[in-house]
């Protein structure tokens, strides 16, 4: 029952988030009024709010609903097609590496080979290689959550920056998928479904090449 009560509280807060046009999209604090309504007592409320503080440090409170909503050109697209591309404001990022970052939305495939939208980010070092082309690293993040707000491209630190940052410092470009269902909510996130994840991973590089033609090496 405690799990069910907590689930109901999160369900209410998620429904509330869907009514917003921008801002926080998940990990909402539970007020006493809401907690009591769903049978979540003071201890339950305290634990949720402690966890939310840690979550928000990672996922942020400025979810861009307009970007993450499914692109209008998705219906006629094919896997690997670029749907949206948007530069991120450097002032909104909290990392120590000289990086230009773009969010992108692209078409991928589900495990049944149907098309899905997915999102992610592309990060470039500030310095351009002598060849004029960047060596790409396609990055698959570890477990972060299953809410759409858990998309790594949504967070101010881009999640696991300490892992990717040294690669950027060495001159690599990072292509990092959020995985379908995180960020964009056309489908639910299929946690640990490696068939689906591999599709998102592969087509993120295809879409990145479409976004920046001729800018990546073939390595």
Q: How far apart are CA 158 and CA 121, in angstroms?
A: 9
pLDDT (0 to 100) of residue 97 = 64
Domain limit, last residue, from 28, 59, 90: 59
Tell me: do 101 and 204 sit in the same domain.
yes
Q: Which of 19-33, 88-102, 173-187 has the lowest mean pLDDT?
A: 19-33
Number of folded domains that form the chain:
2
Instruction: Confirm whether pTM is higher than 0.85.
Output: no
Write out the residue range of the structural domain in which residue 187 sits: 66-211
The CATH number linked to 197 is 3.40.50.1820
Residue with tokens 């690669």: 167
Domain contains 55: yes
Average pLDDT, the chain: 83
Tell me: do 203 and 96 sit in the same domain.
yes
Show the DSSP H helices in the chain as ranges: 2-17, 32-37, 42-59, 65-68, 161-169, 194-211
By C-alpha distance, which of 212, 209, 68 is closest to 148?
68
- What is the average per-residue pLDDT within 172-188? 92
Domain contains 74: yes
Tell me: do 202 and 120 sit in the same domain.
yes
- Per-residue pLDDT reduced to its tens digit, 56-111: 777 777 789 999 999 999 999 999 999 999 998 877 777 656 788 999 999 999 98
């Amino acid at each position: 029952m405690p799990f069910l009560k907590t689930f109901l509280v999160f369900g209410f807060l998620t429904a509330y988030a869907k009514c917003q046009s921008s801002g926080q999209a998940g990990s909402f604090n539970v007020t006493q009024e809401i907690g009591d309504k769903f049978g979540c007592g003071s201890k339950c409320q305290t634990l949720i709010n402690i966890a939310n503080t840690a979550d928000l440090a990672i996922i942020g409170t400025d979810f861009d609903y307009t970007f993450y909503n499914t692109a209008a050109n998705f219906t006629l697209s094919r896997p690997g097609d670029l749907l949206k591309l948007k530069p991120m404001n450097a002032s909104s990022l909290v990392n120590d590496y000289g990086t230009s970052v773009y969010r992108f939305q692209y078409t991928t495939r589900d495990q049944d080979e149907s098309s899905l939208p997915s999102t992610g980010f592309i990060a470039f070092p500030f310095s351009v290689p002598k060849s004029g082309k960047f060596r790409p690293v396609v990055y698959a993040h570890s477990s972060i959550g299953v809410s759409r707000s858990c998309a790594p491209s949504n967070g101010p630190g881009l999640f696991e920056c300490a892992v990717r940052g040294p690669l950027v410092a060495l001159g690599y470009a990072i292509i990092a998928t959020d995985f379908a269902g995180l960020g964009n909510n056309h489908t639910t996130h299929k946690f640990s479904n490696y068939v689906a994840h591999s599709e998102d991973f592969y087509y993120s590089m295809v879409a990145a090449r479409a976004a920046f033609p001729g800018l990546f090496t073939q390595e």
